[in-house]
Amino acid sequence: MSERAGVTQPRQVYSSAARRSGVWAKRMSAAGRLLLHAVLLITGFLTILPFLWMLSTSLKSEGTVFIYPPKWIPDPIVWENYLEAWTFLPMGQAYVNSLKIGLIVTAGSLFTSTLAGYTFAKLQFPGRNVLFVLLLATMMIPGQVTLVPSYILYSYIGWIDTHLPLIVPPALGGAFGVFLMRQYYMTIPADLEDAARIDGCNPWQTYLRIMVPLSGPPVSALAIFTFMGSWNDFLGPLVFLNSQVKFTVPLMIASFQGLYSTNWSLLMAAASIALIPVLIIYISAQRYFIQGITLTGMKA
């Protein structure tokens, strides 16, 4: 009896200690999750704070923008700022120009990036790795370095004050898009290609019938990146465009700033209007965007 008690007593001590450590671990885990959520909430609030201030300023009258202490809720709320911002300058034409450029660039970049990514990931040819490294090396060259040579070249071929410099080079794809798609295609098993080859598919048919249908997440992520880059581009239109009727949205927004004074209410209203397409695209493709970012870093 004593031996049995002597055996069970350490087990009871061990089990009670394990229970206490388990409870302590759960408490620490709950505290960690609470702290993480608190940090994320604070970070999210600080991130969205400038956008809230932009919306607040866009609804204020011109004389109440810089009052102190600042008011987050305008009094009175001037909804007419949005109508005036739309009609004060040809904002509608700028919207059409930016949408045209952004959609064409996005479609062209998706085609060329997926095609080049498939080529570098799945096809074997001499110098493949060297060419891919050289392509990635172009990401280290700032766009400002090639701006002057590009302007001289475009002036020779008559592209200045047209949308062609803003459409043709970006539509041919870039190193980032090719890298993104190449990393994703490397995660696709080679068995699918072998099966397609047995069925008589050539590389072009394999690309169209196998790779493209499986490319939803990275293509969505690349589409968002490409459209946002084209929509928010300011330097390119500033350098290559001269006529106001050909201005894009960022360039038209900058036109609200005068030499001696700026109507900040109209400027913030125009900036708020410019956010609408980007928000719609991001919200509609958010799930695929997150999948594309998480999947393209893995390699089979």
Q: Which distant-in-sequence residues (6+ apart) come within 8 Å of 297 by Cβ?
A: 183
Our measurement of the distance from residue 197's CA atom to the centroid of its chain's CA atoms, rounded to an integer in Å, reads 35
In angstroms, the CA 162 to CA 46 distance is 39
Q: Can you tell me the mean pLDDT for 6-26?
A: 54
Q: What is the pLDDT of residues 140-174, one digit of tens each?
A: 888 888 888 999 999 999 999 999 999 999 998 78
Report the predicted TM-score, pTM, of the whole model to 2 decimal places. 0.78
Q: Which two structure tokens, joined as six digits, stand for 193?
A: 């290609």
Least confident window among 129-143, 218-232, 257-271: 257-271
pLDDT averaged over the chain?
82
Please determine, for residue 62, whether its predicted confidence score (pLDDT) is greater than 90: no
- Report pLDDT for 145: 86
Q: For a pLDDT cut of 90, what percent of the chain falls above it?
A: 18
**99, 161 Cβ separation under 8 angstroms:** no
Q: What is the pLDDT of residues 245-283, one digit of tens each?
A: 999 999 988 888 775 667 788 888 888 888 888 888 777
- Report pLDDT for 143: 81
State which amino acid sits at residue 54.
M
- Report pLDDT for 297: 47
3-state secondary structure the chain: CHHHHHHHHHHHHHHHHHHHHHHHHHHHHHHHHHHHHHHHHHHHHHHHHHHHHHHHHHCCCHHHCCCCCCCCCCCCCCCHHHHHHHHHCCHHHHHHHHHHHHHHHHHHHHHHHHHHHHHHHHCCCCCHHHHHHHHHHHHHCCCCCCHHHHHHHHHHCCCCCCCHHHHHHHHCCCHHHHHHHHHHHCCCCHHHHHHHHHCCCCHHHHHHHHHCCCCHHHHHHHHHHHHHHHHCCCHHHHHHCCCHHHCCHHHHHHCCECCCCECHHHHHHHHHHHHHHHHHHHHHCHHHHHHHHHHCCCCC
Most distant pair of Cα atoms in the chain: their distance: 103
Q: Which of 28-32, 62-66, 247-251, 264-268 has the highest mean pLDDT?
A: 247-251
> Hey, which residues does 262 pair with through a beta bridge?
257
Backbone phi, then psi, for 142, in 5-degree steps?
Answer: -65, 145
> Residues 292, 118, 291, CA angle at the centre, nearest 5°?
5
- Report pLDDT for 107: 92
Q: Can you tell me the mean pLDDT for 175-182?
A: 89
Q: What is the pLDDT of residues 68-124, one digit of tens each?
A: 787 888 878 888 888 888 888 888 899 999 999 999 999 999 999 999 999 998 888
Of 57, 58, 51, 54, nearest to 71 by C-alpha is 57
- Report pLDDT for 196: 81
- Report pLDDT for 2: 46
